[in-house]
Structure 1
Amino acid sequence: MGWAGPSATRQIADLGADVIKVESCQYPDWFRGTDTRPPYHDEVLYEKAHWFQLMNRNKRGVTLDLTTAAGLALVKRLVADADVVIDNYAADVMPRLGLSVDQLHAINPRLVIVTMPAFGMSSIWSGVRAYGSTLEQASGLPSVNGGPDDPPTMLHAALGDPLGGLNGAAALLLGVAHQKLTGLGQHIDLSQVQCMLPLVAPFVIEQSATGATSPRLGNRHPDHVPHGCFPALGIDQWITIAVRSDDEWQALTRIMRRRDLAEDTSLATAAGRRHAEDRIEEAVRQWTKTVRPDVAMNTLQRAGIAAGVARLPGDLPADPHLVATGHWQAVDRALVGPHLLPSVGWREDGATHPPKIRATAPTLGQHNVEILG
C-alpha cells in the first residue's frame, strides 16, 4: 500500500516480473486518495490519483476481502503458485489475517517473503505504525538538514518510502537468487527506518569520533565557497552553483564581470571567502537575476564551474536530456486519459531508449476474472 511496498514491486515489474497487486474494495490502496465523501465514489476519484498511476504501472490487480473465508482461500491459492509475497503493512496486520510468515510457508515452502514495516518485525518498536515522514524524523535526518538557526528540517518528500522501496526491491531479488540456487524460501525482515540510516551515518560517525557534529549550513558547503541556489531571470527560476577551487572562483568573477572581487586578495582562497560569504552570495545573486537559468548553467559549465538549473515539474517534459533519452512515455489509462509516465533510469546494452511501459496501473479489481476465474 502507499509508496514503499508498491515502489519495491514496481521495480520488479519494470524488470518483467508478473506482479499481482491485492487490494480490497473496503480498504483500497490509500494512494488512490481514499475519501468517504460522495465525490470520491460518484466521480470515481479512486481511479484518478496521479501517484497511484506512477507506483503501479506494469502490474495486474485483484480485489479480495481477506476478512472472509472465501477471500482468504483465494489469496492462499495465489500464494501456492507464487515466488514472492511482499507487504509493507504494520507488523501485526498479516498475522491477524491468518497470513503470518509461518502460515505462508506452510502453503508454499519455497516462498520468498519480504516484510517491510517501519521498524521491522522483531524490534521493540515493531508494533509502531509510521509513514515516510515519520521514518525521516526517526532516522535523525531532519536534525542535520536546514540552516544553523532552523528547527529540524524535513525534505517534505516522505523520503523513507522510496528508500524503503529501493531496498525492498534489492532484498526481494536477493531472496529470489537464493531461491533459484537452493530451491528454498526465506523470510526477509526489512526495517524501513534502517534503510534511511546511510544518509545519516556520516554524522553518527562524526559524533562518535569527535563528540560533536558539524554545524548545519543550509545550501552552503563546508569547503566550497560560494555554494548555493540563486534566483535567475524569470518567474520562480533558480540555478545552483558550486565553486570548488580558487581557479573556479576567478572564472566566476570573470563571468560576472566583477574585477573588484577578482582582485580582492582576501577572497583568493576558500577560507578567505568563507568570511565574506554573505557579500559574495549577494554579488552572485545580482548577476544570476539578469540571466536565464539555462544560459547561466551553460556559461558556467563551459568555464568548468559546477552549475545546474533547479527544474520545476512543468519544465521536465521538455528537458533536453530527458527528451533525448526518451525518458517520458505517453500512455492512456481508463478514467485518467492521456498522460506521461517516467521510465526507469537505466538502458539495456545497445538500447537507445528505456524499456517500454507494458501496462498502466490497474483499475480496482481489473484482473479479477483473468486471475481468479
Structure 2
Amino acid sequence: MIEQSLRGIRIIDLSMGWAGPLACRQLADMGADVIKVESCERFDWWRSWEATPEWIEDDGAEKSSAFNMVNRNKRAITLDLEDPSGREILLRLVESAHAVVENFSGAVLPKLNLSYDVFKSVNDKIILMSMPAFGSTGPWANFRAYGSTVEQASGLPHLNGLEQDPPTMQHVAFGDAVGGLNGAAALLVALRYQARSGEGQFVDVSQVEGLFPLGAHGIMAYAATQSLPSRTGNRRDGASPHGVYQCAGADDWLVIQIFNDAQWQALRTVAAPNLDEFDDRFADPEELDRYIASWTAHQNAQELMYRLQSLRIPAAATNKASTLLNDPHLQAQNHWQWMDRAVVGNQPNPSPPFRANGRTVQIRSPAPTLGQHNHEVLVGELGISQQQYEQLIERGTIGDRPRMQRK
C-alpha cells in the first residue's frame, strides 16, 4: 500500500508555514514518521503570526485550518532550540533520523549553531533539506520572504491581469505550494540515493526558481523577441472566445475555451441564434464576450458544462469553497476524509491526490496539537527519565501551550 511505502523513514520537520510542512506532509502521507518540532514561543506561524493572552486562552493555536491541512499524519513535539538542552535533544533525534527539513531564512540555523555539518557530526548519513526563498547561496541568500514575495520575484505578476492594470498577483502564495511539491520530490530523490549509497547530502531548494516554469511563456517570449508579452486577462492568443462567463446563479460562472474552428462551429450551433452574426471569432472579442455572457446568463453552469463537453467544447463550471465539499466527482472518489481533532471537532481532510490500484490513500491521523507527542517521543523513544522530562517542562524547554515571547 502506498501509505506504507516510506514506513521506517524518519524526518525531523523544523519547517513552518506552507512550503516545508507541505513537503513533509507528502512524505508523511506515504508512511514516513514525520516529527514536527516547534517551540512554545516560536510556534509554526500558520497557527498564528503572534500570540495574545486571549488567543492562548481560547486555544487559538489549534484552530487554524491552514495549519491543520498541511500537518496531518505527523507527530509533534516542542523544543526551545535556544536552550542548550533543547538543542541537545534535537541532535539526539537527528541521530535516528533520515532527514531534516527547514525553511527558515538563511541566518536562522547559524544563530542556533545548527547546520548540515553539525547534523552530519551526529549522523553521517543525514539529509538536510533547506527551502529558503532564494536558495542558500548568492546575494539574496539571507533575504526573508513569503510565498507572495516569491511570486513577485519570479516575475509572474507581470504576466497576469489586464494590460491597463499594474502587475497583478494571484494572492495564493504560489511560491509556497509549488516549493512544497518541489521539496517533496527532491527529498524523495535524496532518500533514494541515501538508501542506495548510504550517504546523506545537503539539498538546497530555491522556491523562486521553482516558480519559473509557471512563467516560461513570458521568459521564452522575451528571450526570442526582446519584448515583454502583454497582459491579456482571461484572453489567450490563438483562442477565441476564451473567458469566464456568469451563469444563472448569483455567483455561478463557466469557463469556455475555443481553440479551433470545429469547437467554434459546435458552440455556434448550441448557442444559436446568439452567435449567428459572428463569422470571424477573432474580429471583436469584447463584443463576442458580451453575446456569450447574455446567453450563459440564463443557463445552469453545471448543466451547460456537461452539454458543452459532450460536444467536445472545453468548458468547466467554476467551483467555490461552498460547493467543493458536495462536488459529485470528489464524493465519488471518496476525496474528503472526515476526522475528529481536538478543539475543532470533526473536520474534512483532503485525500492525497494519488491513488494506488484505484484506492484512496487513507489518512492515519489529523494534525497534532502543540507538543502532543512530547512524552511519547522524549520519554518513550529517547529514554529521557520522567524526572528530566518534568524539569524540561519547568524550564520551559518543552510544553503543550503557546507562551508570549519573552522580551
Q: What is the TM-score when the length of structure 1 is the normalising length? A: 0.95
1:28 and 1:34 in contact (8 A); partners too: no
Which of 37-46 and 161-170 deviates more?
Answer: 37-46
What residue number does 1:14 align with? 29
Cα distance in 2, alignment partners of residues 175 and 246 from structure 1: 48
Cα distance in 2, alignment partners of residues 36 and 363 from structure 1: 16
Q: Partner amino acid for 1:287?
A: W
Q: 1:199 aligns with which of 197, 208, 214?
A: 214
What residue number does 1:222 align with? 237
1:364 aligns with 2:379: no
Cα distance in 2, alignment partners of residues 20 and 372 from structure 1: 11
Cα distance in 2, alignment partners of residues 205 and 303 from structure 1: 34
Q: 2:323 aligns with which of 312, 315, 338?
A: 315
1:302 aligns with 2:310: yes
What residue number does 2:398 align with? none
Cα distance in 2, alignment partners of residues 359 and 247 from structure 1: 50
1:253-292 → structure 2 map (5 Å cutoff): 253-258=268-273, 261-262=275-276, 264=277, 267-268=278-279, 272-292=280-300
1:49 aligns with 2:57: no
Cα distance in 1, alignment partners of residues 117 and 138 from structure 2: 18
Question: What are the Cα deviations for residues 174-226 of structure 1, in whole angstroms up to 9, with x where unaligned?
Answer: 11111011101100111111111111122112111111133221111101110
Question: What are the Cα deviations for residues 214-256 of structure 1, in whole angstroms up to 9, with x where unaligned?
Answer: 3221111101110100001111111100112222222212222
Cα distance in 2, alignment partners of residues 41 and 257 from structure 1: 61
Regions of 4+ moved over 4 Å = none
* Equivalent residue pairs, number: 364
Q: Cα distance, 1:90 vs. partner?
A: 0.5
Higher RCO structure (Cα 8 Å, ≥6 apart): 2
Q: Partner amino acid for 2:102?
A: D
What residue number does 1:100 align with? 115
> Percent of aligned positions with the same letter in both sequences?
43
What residue number does 2:13 align with? none
1:23 and 1:63 in contact (8 A); partners too: yes
Question: What are the Cα deviations for residues 34-91 of structure 1, in whole angstroms up to 9, with x where unaligned?
Answer: 4332321111111111001101000000000000111011000000110000100011
Q: Partner amino acid for 2:331?
A: V
1:27 aligns with 2:33: no
Matched residue SS, 1:332: strand
Q: Cα distance, 1:291 vs. partner?
A: 0.7
Q: 1:153 aligns with which of 163, 168, 187?
A: 168
Matched residue SS, 1:331: strand
Q: 1:123 aligns with which of 135, 138, 163?
A: 138
Q: Cα distance, 1:94 vs. partner?
A: 1.1
Q: What is the TM-score when the length of structure 2 is the normalising length? A: 0.88
Q: Cα distance, 1:149 vs. partner?
A: 1.0
Which blocks of at least 5 consecutive residues in structure 1 are unaligned?
none
CA RMSD of aligned residues (A): 1.1
Cα distance in 2, alignment partners of residues 325 and 40 from structure 1: 37
What residue number does 2:384 align with? none
